[in-house]
Structure 1
């Protein structure tokens, strides 16, 4: 099924129900992740599909963020590009599956655990949850008007 087939099918179902509706799609990728929203307004008959930018540590908004999470020795969590940047910082040396999580998507559903990782990061599902629920610090994801 292509993106357009999905959009057409969703629009037809919502038109038949004659009510507002929305769907959220999460692309948890091996290297990058993003979130998209499709919303339908029966008054206009339009289905709007847009990527939602996520707030970054530097205050910017990005649609595709690196699928990376890092946890410092003090327990502070870092996401996306900021987590990747921590790899080379002096005094911050997280190790894969202990305090640095890359490509965890590939291990979702396996009975594999990260025994030495901090609480809340003990398996790929917990790491993925951190990526999907990126902290927004009150900024919230904002529509870009870009189609995905």
Structure 2
């Protein structure tokens, strides 16, 4: 249920003067996340023969310059050690990534992994724009970015 806020609506208040209850807001966030995620994955990962976890790892490795310690990769994704290890094993068998043991484990994009992420990147960017950022004003995108960094 929503609760009206006292006073006139300011720049940080909803236009209709109603502030959603915490569970309502969380539910709306979850719904939006799932819808956008599903649409972006359908437009990119599936078309390229990648799973969503494949795409997520390839994007993060590419963003990091092609290599990351396995523990850093797991932490950046919010994944536990078992999940990241199993996913990297599957991706390694397909030649997308390589792991080297040393002082920890370093995960590296292979040439095949680099080619796939380079090929899928334009479609990924277009899908993110179509299903997410183009639906926001510049001010909304800036506000959302600020909120997400804070969380």
Normalising by the smaller structure, the TM-score range is under 0.3
Bigger radius of gyration, 1 or 2? 2
Which structure features the higher share of strand residues? 1
Which has the larger helix fraction?
Answer: 2
Query: What TM-score results when the alignment is normalised by the length of structure 2?
Result: 0.25
